[in-house]
Amino acid sequence: MTSRATDFFERTQNAGKVMVLDLGFLGDTVHLLPALWMVRQAYPRAQLHCAVGEHVTSLMDCVPWVDRVWGYMRFPRHATLRENFQMVLRLRREKFDVVINLNGSDRSSWLTFLSGARERLGRMPNDGGPPFWKRMFTAHVHHPFGEEPIYAQRCHCLEKAGFPAMPPEFHVQMPSAALEAAQISANDTGTYFHVSPFTTADRKELSPDQLARLIGSLAEKFPEKRWAFSCAPTDRELKKMEGLMAMLPVKPWRVFAGSLTLTQLAAVIANGALHLCGDTGPFHLAVMTQTPVVAWFGPHPGLRDWAPQAQKCRVVVGAGEAASPFLGQIRNDQLIQAVGSVLAQPAGPALMTR
């Protein structure tokens, strides 16, 4: 039987070993970080573990205040039954006092339940979950989706469980070696615009012709800025990058064709003057690093969850067009105006490096 969620932190504040279990993709992991920082502050003497998707574990190099990071197979395939069984055995061997799961997925909920932890906090799924869902946790919270960014939602979930309230903040520390690996120096900070031109599907992208014209217009408006481009190491994106490079009206300064780790990519984005992208993982890295970002999204019900409109963040929403496989109903003048808006915002605090 579950206990009252508001008493959860009071019951567990002397915990010696804590696991925050998420298992999501890049955006999920980025949006977890402010809540993870709240957990770190709430249990300052505890050993803090965090489980994320195996393919995004390199991002956790930015959060050295987590004692141990676990990887769980999510991409390019799902974990097998054997791998799930091994995960359960590993969790039980650690003898966690507390497991916190603000994801709410069926897989992560089962792993939380089978972890053997004495106290297990969960967030109720949007649909309420299966009939037995509540029995997997010793306490659960309900917080509405779709009204604020996911990172804020997760912090408010912890508040409802009795954790001390804190503003949602990304306490990341960018390793200096990450920028050096990309052959960018501290002297290059703020001198370039970075572009992540591709997503997982053409329908979420600007057409190559429109993107090339946008870059040409911005190069004329900001002639002092250099241009850096990056993409994922997939055959699809590598081929698309080659085609885009042939169309560009400006010579790129750096091209990272699938060659960066997530921490290195975050460092490149963080040290740029502007990030341009579609609905893709690097967008969340720009939000995390407080880098001015202009993005183009298609319409979907999760915009308030995943596309925050903040001082340094502008998301221009378009729509599909029957005559084109690419994202339409977005004009370059809208994007250029958005760029001017975010660049006019005052600079934020510098990121910590180590």
Its pTM stands at 0.92
Rounded to an integer, the average pLDDT of 278-290 is: 95
Q: Report the candidate in 11, 52, 22 with the shortest Cα–Cα distance to residue 163.
A: 11
Q: Tens digit of pLDDT for each residue in 55-108?
A: 999 999 999 999 999 999 988 888 999 999 999 999 999 999 999 999 878 889
Q: pLDDT (tens digit, 9 = 90+) per residue, 99-153?
A: 999 987 888 999 999 999 999 999 998 887 878 888 899 999 999 999 999 999 9
Q: What is the pLDDT of residue 74?
A: 85
Q: CB burial class (10 A; 0-12, 13-18, 19+) of residue 280? A: buried
281 pLDDT higher than 60: yes
- Bridge partners of 313, per DSSP, are 293
Q: 323 falls in which pLDDT band (50, 70, 90)? A: confident
Q: Determine the pLDDT at residue 126.
A: 83
Closest C-alpha among 329, 62, 47 to residue 176: 62
The pLDDT of residue 311:
79
Contact (CB, 8 A) for 337 and 216: no
Instruction: For 194-207, give one letter per residue: b (16+ CB within 10 A) or e.
Output: bbbbbbeebebbbe
| The pLDDT value given to residue 138 | 95
- How high is the pLDDT of residue 288? 94
Token code pair at residue 69: 């990071």
Q: Could you report the per-residue pLDDT of 241-263, keeping only the tens digit for each?
A: 999 999 999 999 999 999 999 99
User: Which residues touch 336 (CB under 8 Å, ≥6 apart)?
Assistant: 214, 217, 218, 221
Is there a contact between 120 and 139 (Cβ–Cβ < 8 Å)? Answer: yes
Between residues 251 and 351, which one has the greater pLDDT? 251
CA angle 176, 177, 182 (to 5 degrees): 105
In the numeric block, which tokens belong to residue 269? 């984005």
The position carrying tokens 């249990």 is 43
| All domains in the chain, ordered by first residue | 5-171 (3.40.50.2000), 174-353 (3.40.50.2000)
Q: Please state, in angstroms and rounded to a whole number, the distance separating the CA atoms of residues 188 and 227.
A: 12
Q: Which two tokens stand for residue 186?
A: 């501290």
- Mark residue 249 as left, alpha or beta (left: phi above 0; alpha: psi -120 to 50; beta: remaining): alpha
Q: Is the pLDDT of residue 172 over 70?
A: yes
pLDDT of residue 105: 82
* Separation of alpha carbons 10 and 236, rounded Å: 51
Question: What is the reported pLDDT for 242?
Answer: 96
Lowest mean pLDDT among 129-138, 215-224, 271-280: 129-138
Prior bond of 76 cis (ω within 30°): yes
The pLDDT value recorded for residue 309 is 73
Direct distance between the N- and C-terminal alpha carbons of the chain, in angstroms, rounded to an integer: 45
pLDDT in the model for residue 159: 97
354 pLDDT exceeds 60?
Answer: no
**Which residue has better confidence, 325 or 300?**
325
Convert the chain into a string of H (helix), E (strand) and C (coil). CCCCHHHHHHHHCCCCEEEEECCCCHHHHHHHHHHHHHHHHHCCCCEEEEEEEHHHHHHHHHCCCCCEEEEECCCCCCCCHHHHHHHHHHHHHHCCCEEEECCCCHHHHHHHHHCCCCEEEEECCCCCCCCCHHHHCCEEECCCCCCCCHHHHHHHHHHHCCCCCCCCCCCCEECHHHHHHCCCCHHHCCCEEEEECCCCCHHHCCCHHHHHHHHHHHHHHCCCCEEEEEECCCHHHHHHHHHHHHHCCCCCCEEEECCCCHHHHHHHHHCCCEEEECCCHHHHHHHHHCCCEEEEECCCCCHHHHCCCCCCEEEEECEEECCEEEEECCCHHHHHHHHHHHHCCCCCCCCEEC
